[in-house]
Amino acid sequence: MKRTALAALVLSLAGCVVVPQTVYRPHPECRTVERSMELQAVQVAWISGCSNEGCAVLLAAAGVTAAASAVVSGSIVVVGNFVYWLERQGRCAHTS
């Protein structure tokens, strides 16, 4: 059961990487364009027709690559959104 779930997870990640993407949205109160970062999964390759031990190594490498790209890109998004938040605080000071 555990092997089947692990195989399904690795196959779903095969050839995918996670990349940060900047999104622009209008901010009506400040009359500016607000920026934020989001993660986007991108498929760069598809692995099919594997049946030997080399395929298992290839799938494991694809899983490690996907996980590493998620960690690195996630860190970039956290830092980027913090910088955009600081920028927004300086540009749009509400006087409530």
CA distance 7 to 43: 18
Q: What is the pLDDT of residues 43-57, one digit of tens each?
A: 776 666 666 777 777
CA distance 70 to 12: 14
Most confident of 36-40, 64-68, 87-91: 36-40
Of the candidates 29, 19, 23, the one whose C-alpha atom is nearest the C-alpha of residue 71 is 19
| pTM higher than the cut 0.85 | no
Mean pLDDT of 19-26: 92
Provide the pLDDT for residue 3.
Answer: 60
Provide the pLDDT for residue 6.
Answer: 54
Residue 49, by phi and psi: left (phi above 0), alpha (psi -120 to 50) or beta? Answer: left
